[in-house]
Amino acid sequence: MRKNIVAGNWKMNNDLSQTESLLADLKVQTQTSNAEVMVAPTFTNLYQANEALKASNIEVIAQNMHFAEKGAYTGEISASMLKSIGVNTTILGHSERREYFKENDELLAKKVDAALANDIRVIFCFGEELADRKSGNEENIVEGQIKNALFHLEASAFKDIVLAYEPVWAIGTGETASPEQAQDMHAFIRKTLANTYGVEVANSVSILYGGSVKPANAQEIFSKPDVDGGLIGGASLKAEDFFAIVNAF
Ligand code: PEP
């Protein structure tokens, strides 16, 4: 059966000493849910975070990676570099990468392939913009993003894929998709998976919701049958809030 997952995306926040203090705060939190918990510090703090959280059940993951194994890609980080410091999961396709760094479906398909080839699990993000939702086009957009970046994969690859539906209009805006909007889209995503890969694969893939999840709204969102957890931005920067969300399961 699919897993419940709560992952914190710290984005470009926290220098080393701020990271150390957040890690110390995380370690004293108590987990009462059965969710898998992950945090994604910035690249410069991944090693430190992994060392600090080794004895905990919090997995340290990356926010991004490059598709090439090595070479002349100034400023980039490869899958094998992540593996070499014990990082086994990465976020890919976050809307901020798509918007500010022009990452498109074709590039993301290459990144997904590189991650899977290196045994790195992928949290694949996608979601419509406000104009798409206003024009009723959200399902077409989401279907295209998933199909273009992932549907060249064999069914067996989906054991290492987690999907994260993140409507762009709800990220960092304080505006959240209603639990019903999240459920409707997650059910649509699962149906899209089932149509190509079958019901068994569709039911085995965790689909996370992301977009202004907070302690106050997490429980209602997570209670929906097709919502298997959350990708948390702002609220993951405070250990207490993050664990209130983890414990909302
Ligand atoms: C995100 O960036 O993935 C995210 C969900 O951010 P926030 O929780 O701050 O909306």
Residue in 152, 164, 86 with CA at minimum distance from that of residue 118: 86
Q: What is the set of active-site residues? A: 94, 166
The pLDDT value recorded for residue 1 is 80
Quote the mean pLDDT of the chain: 96
The pLDDT value recorded for residue 174 is 78
d(CA 60, CA 57): 10
Q: Is the pLDDT of residue 172 over 90?
A: no
d(CA 68, CA 165): 26
pLDDT in tens, 37-96: 999 999 999 999 999 999 899 999 999 999 999 999 999 999 999 999 999 999 999 999
The pLDDT value recorded for residue 85 is 97
pLDDT in tens, 206-226: 999 999 999 999 999 999 999
Residue in 82, 152, 94, 84 with CA at minimum distance from that of residue 121: 82
d(CA 35, CA 38): 10
Tell me what the mean pLDDT of segment 229-234 comes to.
98
Q: Tell the residue number behind the tokens 């969710």, with chain if given.
A: 35
pLDDT in tens, 146-166: 999 999 999 999 999 999 999
Residues 145/151/153/156 CA torsion (nearest 10 deg)? 110
The pLDDT value recorded for residue 14 is 97
CA 83 to chain centroid? 18
In this structure, which residue's CA is closest to atom 8 in ligand 1? 233
- Residues 35 and 229: beta-carbon distance below 8 Å: yes
Whole-Å CA distances, 211 to 62, 115, 174, 220, 234: 19, 25, 8, 14, 9
d(CA 249, CA 243): 11
In this structure, which residue's CA is closest to atom 7 in ligand 1? 233
* Best residue among 166, 176, 221 to mutate for probing ligand 1, ranked by most atoms within 8 Å of CB: 166
Residue in 174, 173, 185, 101 with CA at minimum distance from that of residue 137: 185
What residues does ligand 1 touch, defined as CB less than 6 Å away? 9, 166, 171-172, 210-213, 231-235
Q: Is the pLDDT of residue 113 over 90?
A: yes
The pLDDT value recorded for residue 173 is 81
Looking at the whole model, is its pTM more than 0.95? yes
> For residue 105, what are the contacts with CB-CB under 8 A and spacing of at least 6?
144, 145, 148, 149
What H or E segment, with its residue span, contains residue 60? strand 58-60
Q: How confident is the model at residue 131 (pLDDT cuts 50, 70, 90)?
A: very high
Q: Is the pLDDT of residue 249 over 90?
A: no
Q: Tell me, in angstroms, the distance from the centre of ligand 1 to residue 238's CA.
A: 13
* Best residue among 6, 9, 96, 214 to mutate for probing ligand 1, ranked by most atoms within 8 Å of CB: 9
- Residues 177 and 211: beta-carbon distance below 8 Å: yes
Residue 11 exposed, middle or buried by CB count within 10 Å (0-12, 13-18, 19+):
middle
pLDDT in tens, 3-43: 999 999 999 999 999 999 999 999 999 999 999 999 999 99
Tokens for 125, please give them. Answer: 């993000």
Residues 96/184/143/149 CA torsion (nearest 10 deg)? 50
The pLDDT value recorded for residue 98 is 97
